Structure 1
């Protein structure tokens, strides 16, 4: 159970103190292997570039080979002449999180090339697409891209994560998975998630951002669930609000809002610092497994509705997380 922390004030949540864990804080990552989803642009791209410069083998996970290869070419061109600890390797990992049929093939191709995986960064997301947007199989697009695809991907990668954590040179809880969420403290749907009578999460289109925030509640629950399942193997799983940045996620927002966000939000590299902290900092302690982190590298509590969802009704909670896990398992079982 993650420890409780002093609540972070609203002003500090929106405008965090300066990051204390950056690319300069990393040791050499030579010989280590990383997957960053959504790394063809934005925060994921900045993180992949940092890990590559630190010597890591970094897989750019994106929905098409041209997007993967384009990001790799761009990283190489932007790091020409930059020395440091020795550059690593870059690889493509074609997985369309909005099409569950692509996930297993992508994971199998990764497993043919690598024998270890040190950090799985679930960075990719879709936010506020046009109402009614669906994935390739008819699921709500935000729920599929943000939850179902990453969940299936993690299940398929569990064996290599466990194998890596068992290696003699690997420190306990240095193998990690990070589930990028959002500023959940700013507001989520009542109860964290709402369901149809058959257990499918309700598509919430009446209030701006509700459907997106609901999917991010799902990510926080998945982070806690994998911590519970894999903690015995020395694997850490945490959820993370990476901060408010200017990214392609806001491309569906109204123009006035995008203009304002371009003024107020930070560059993408700040989100990469948050992800670095969650994936690499020794300040993230074993007792925080299953817990929540915030920009630009701080521990925080999840909102009460989300915590309550993780508990069964018999233990005083709502049991909504288990209801969500049942839904996820039902939808992805055909693609395992």
Structure 2
């Protein structure tokens, strides 16, 4: 329980945002970058001279975020741009990637930051899939898959281990997942329990991170990291007002949570040797992952249950027609 307690009440961050070196010449894409944690990530990387793309469904919100960041950071060599992205509509993601490819030839870090938590029960995506699974897992999976060539293109002239994909999980993945880690049948027949569906999606993000590290780490050189950003007061809980009220004493600012995400994206503690690591607030490698989840993320031939691979294969099958 000590590892869980320290995620509720983390030590002070050792990775300071203002100490991040210049990011001039590097390209970043942040889903959900118009508000909350994503906004703070975009602001920080823009201030450091990066080419920053804020991806989201609302052009207006994206433009307002860009203007707010530009007012807050008046002098920088960075650039800001908006990409239209609808994660719960798989038919639209290929167009988003095509628009990005028209502007850039490489991608240094992809922050899969956007997500939804506990929408009205029965909410589904444009393809009729439970909304949290679609928005938090299937959309980011397809986006990452289509952006893989641009991530790979950044590897040759980047320092080893600095081209990364950062997936957003949650502490609930450890606290509330079933003993076996995930019940795969719940993906096709979702329980009438929004919290359980959210847990499945956040554990799914962790699974995708581990599997991507296994598949594209040593042979391609891309680092894949999952992270629990910490309990933050953001729009994520807009559909779970009672949860937000009850958890209010534990909620921190988006800026504090950004320490976790930027540690995952840039810390030298991480790299190819720690590919597939899990980062906890406010920027630490999780050293005490629950044994049942370790088993779920280990391949069958290595003594595990292979659930992470099964989940990757599920996402691959569900998105195959939209590549």
Look up the match of 2:37: 43
1:294 is the counterpart of 2:280: yes
1:69 is the counterpart of 2:63: yes
- CA offsets, 1:122-165, max 9 Å, x none? 11111111111101110110001110001001111111111100
1:159 is the counterpart of 2:152: no
Look up the match of 1:175: 163
The number of aligned residues is 320
CA contact (8 A) 1:312 1:318 kept: yes
1:55 is the counterpart of 2:61: no
TM-score, scaled to structure 1: 0.90
- CA distance in 2 between counterparts of 1:219 and 1:201 reads 17
SS at match of 2:180: coil
Structure 2, gaps ≥5 residues long:
none
| 1:202 Cα deviation from its structure 2 partner | 4.1
Look up the match of 1:243: 230
TM-score, scaled to structure 2: 0.94
CA contact (8 A) 2:211 2:309 kept: no
CA contact (8 A) 1:194 1:201 kept: no
- CA distance in 2 between counterparts of 1:318 and 1:125 reads 27
Structure 1, gaps ≥5 residues long:
1-6
SS at match of 1:209: helix
Look up the match of 1:91: 81
Look up the match of 2:266: 280
1:186 is the counterpart of 2:201: no
- CA distance in 2 between counterparts of 1:191 and 1:252 reads 28
Look up the match of 1:4: none
Root-mean-square deviation (CA, aligned residues, Å) is 1.8
CA contact (8 A) 1:246 1:261 kept: no
1:243-322 aligned at under 5 Å gives the runs 243-255=230-242, 257-300=243-286, 301-322=288-309
**Change in CA separation of 1:69 and 1:171 when aligned onto 2, cut-off 3 Å:** same
| 1:304 Cα deviation from its structure 2 partner | 2.3
1:17 is the counterpart of 2:17: no
CA contact (8 A) 2:162 2:271 kept: no
| 1:217 Cα deviation from its structure 2 partner | 1.0
